[in-house]
C-alpha cells in the first residue's frame, strides 16, 4: 500500500488521539535512515522517539531477536521464569548507580515503569504523596499524566487524576528559575502541601526530556538526595529518555555521582523492542511482594534478548564514546548557527542529548514555538525527521542514533541549515 491509501485507512480507523499527524508511513529502516511507503528516504534525527541509540535494526539485535524467536516467544515471567529475564536483571543491577544491592523488575513501557516505581516507593515507605517537577514528563497513564508538568501537547483535560501529586519548580535559569529558587520551591512544596511524613517519593528526570533537554545541576541532585535521606523519602530518577547512553554515560545521573533509591528506564534499552525496567535498592524493591510487580507481557523473552544484545553493542562499539563525540559535533554546529541566525538562542547538550531554542527576540529570549514547528515541518518536507519539544514548545531536540554515519549526520545538519536560511 502507498502513503495515500494508508492515510485513508488511518483517517477511518485510527483513534484521533493515537493518530500521527504525519502522512509518510515508515516501511523499512536502517541505522539512521527510514524509507516510506512511497519509497521516499528520510534521515531520522528523532531516533524513533529516543529509542534507537544503536540505530534502526542493529544487526546484532536483529540476530538476537531471531534466535530468541526460534526458542520461546512468550512465557509469563510469573508463571514460568526464563533465562533472559534474570540475565537482564543481573546486568542492570551491575550497571546502574542505584544505592546498595539493586534488584530489578521489568515492564513494557516507560509509563508502566513509573507506575511501578511509585508503587514500590509507596510500599517501602508506607507513605502516599509524590513530588514531581515543572516541565517533567512521565507518560500517558492516569498517574503519570498527573505527574507531568506542563509539557505541550500532553497537557490534558481528562478531569481529576488519582494520587496525591505535588509539584516543584525545575531549575531552568534561562527562563528565570535559578537552582536556589527551585530548591526553595521544593522545600516549600514539602512544607505546605506534600508534608515529609506523607511523602513517598521525589521523582525527577536528570535531564528534562519532553520539557526541553535541561540538565539538572549536580548540586541540585545532591540537595534532593539529602532531603530524601533526611525525611525517609525515595529518590526516583526517571531515565526513560536520558538513559542507555544518550548523554555519554549509560545513565545521566552518573554525571553527578548521586545514587538514587530507584531508577526507571525504557526507550533505548532494546533498540525498539518494548521493554522497560525499574531498578531499586533490594529492600525497597522487595517491599512490594505478592506478585504485585508483574504483568502478562512484562519483560518478554524477545525484548530481553534484544536488551542483552544492546548492552553487548554498547561495549563492542564504544557507544558511550560515540555519544560524547556526536554531542561535541552537534554543539559546534549549534554554535555556528547561533552566530549566523538571530532565531537560534540557547543551545545545550549532555553528550548527544542535545538541543537549541528558537526565539523571536534573542535579547529577551522570547520563545518562538511557531518557528520551531515550521522548521520541523520544512525539514520533513526535505527528508529529515526532526522534533521540537519543551515547556515553551520552542526547543529543537536531537535524538538521532549515536551510530549515525558521519555523511548522513552532515547531510541532516545541512538540511537544517538550508531550512533555517529559507525560514529567516
Q: Which residues bind ligand PLP (CB under 6 A)?
A: 109-111, 114, 137-139, 205, 209-210, 238, 240-241, 266
Nearby residues of 377 by Cβ (< 8 Å), 6 or more positions away: none
Smallest distance, ligand PLP to C-beta of residue 149, A: 11
Looking at 232-300, list the stretches that DSSP marks H as alpha helix, in order from N- to C-terminal side: 282-285
Which is closer to ligand PLP, CB of 209 or CB of 260? Answer: 209
Across the strands, what pairs with 262? 236, 280
Which is closer to ligand PLP, CB of 205 or CB of 254? Answer: 205
- What angle is formed at CA 93 by the lines to CA 87 and CA 96, rounded to 5 degrees? 130
Which is closer to ligand PLP, CB of 82 or CB of 213? Answer: 213
Which is closer to ligand PLP, CB of 54 or CB of 132? Answer: 132
Smallest distance, ligand PLP to C-beta of residue 89, A: 19
Residue of minimal CB distance from ligand PLP? 110
Residues, the chain, total? 424
Which is closer to ligand PLP, CB of 137 or CB of 251? Answer: 137
Contact call for residues 137 and 146 (beta carbons, < 8 A): no
Cis before residue 153, ω within 30 degrees of 0?
Answer: yes
27 three-class SS? strand
Q: What values do phi and psi take at 50, rounded to 5?
A: 75, 25
d(CA 201, CA 73): 36
Contact call for residues 249 and 255 (beta carbons, < 8 A): yes
Smallest distance, ligand PLP to C-beta of residue 398, A: 15
| CA distance readout (Å), 61 to 52, 92, 270 | 11, 17, 8
Which is closer to ligand PLP, CB of 244 or CB of 413? Answer: 244
Matching residue, cell 553527578: 256
Smallest distance, ligand PLP to C-beta of residue 382, A: 26
Smallest distance, ligand PLP to C-beta of residue 210, A: 6
Amino acid at each position: 500500500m502507498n502513503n495515500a491509501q494508508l492515510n485513508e485507512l488511518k483517517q477511518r480507523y485510527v483513534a484521533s488521539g493515537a493518530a500521527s499527524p504525519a502522512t509518510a508511513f515508515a516501511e523499512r529502516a536502517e541505522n539512521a535512515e527510514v524509507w516510506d511507503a512511497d519509497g521516499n528516504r528520510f534521515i531520522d534525527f528523532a531516533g524513533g522517539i529516543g529509542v534507537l541509540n544503536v540505530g534502526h535494526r542493529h544487526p546484532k539485535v536483529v540476530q538476537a531477536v531471531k534466535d530468541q524467536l526460534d526458542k520461546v516467544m512468550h512465557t509469563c515471567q510469573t508463571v514460568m521464569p526464563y533465562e533472559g529475564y534474570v540475565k537482564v536483571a543481573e546486568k542492570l543491577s551491575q550497571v546502574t548507580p542505584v544505592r546498595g544491592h539493586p534488584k530489578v523488575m521489568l515492564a513494557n513501557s516507560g509509563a508502566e515503569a513509573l507506575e511501578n516505581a511509585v508503587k514500590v516507593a509507596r510500599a517501602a515507605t508506607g507513605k502516599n504523596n509524590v513530588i514531581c517537577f515543572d516541565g517533567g514528563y512521565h507518560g500517558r497513564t492516569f498517574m503519570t499524566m498527573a505527574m507531568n508538568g506542563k509539557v505541550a501537547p500532553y497537557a490534558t483535560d481528562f478531569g481529576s487524576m488519582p494520587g496525591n501529586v505535588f509539584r516543584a519548580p525545575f531549575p531552568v535559569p534561562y527562563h528565570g528559575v535559578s537552582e536556589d529558587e527551585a530548591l526553595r520551591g521544593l522545600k516549600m512544596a514539602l512544607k505546605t502541601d506534600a508534608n515529609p511524613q506523607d511523602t513517598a517519593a521525589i521523582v525527577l528526570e536528570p535531564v528534562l526530556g519532553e520539557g526541553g533537554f535541561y540538565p539538572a545541576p549536580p548540586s541540585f541532585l545532591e540537595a534532593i538526595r539529602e532531603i530524601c535521606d533526611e525525611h525517609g523519602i525515595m529518590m526516583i530518577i526517571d531515565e526513560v529518555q536520558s538513559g542507555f547512553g544518550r548523554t555519554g554515560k549509560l545513565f545521566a545521573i552518573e554525571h553527578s555521582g548521586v545514587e538514587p533509591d530507584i531508577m526507571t528506564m525504557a526507550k533505548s534499552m532494546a533498540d525498539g523492542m518494548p521493554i522497560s525496567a525499574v531498578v531499586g535498592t533490594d529492600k525497597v524493591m522487595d517491599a512490594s511482594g505478592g506478585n504485585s510487580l508483574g504483568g502478562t507481557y512484562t519483560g518478554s523473552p524477545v525484548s530481553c534478548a534484544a536488551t542483552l544484545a544492546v548492552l553487548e553493542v554498547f561495549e563492542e562499539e564504544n557507544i558511550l564514546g560515540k555519544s560524547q563525540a556526536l554531542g561535541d559535533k552537534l554543539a559546534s554546529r549549534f554554535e555556528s548557527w547561533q552566530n549566523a541566525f538571530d532565531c537560534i538562542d540557547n543551545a545545550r547538550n549532555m553528550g548527544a542529548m542535545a538541543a537549541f531554542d528558537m526565539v523571536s527576540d534573542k535579547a529577551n529570549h522570547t520563545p518562538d514555538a511557531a518557528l520551531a514547528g515550521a522548521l520541523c515541518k520544512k525539514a520533513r518536507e526535505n527528508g529529515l525527521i526532526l522534533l521540537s519539544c519543551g515547556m515553551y514548545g520552542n526547543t529543537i531536540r536531537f535524538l538521532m542514533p549515536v551510530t549515525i554515519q558521519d555523511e548522513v549526520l552532515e547531510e541532516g545538519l545541512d538540511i537544517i541549515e538550508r531550512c533555517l536560511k529559507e525560514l529567516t
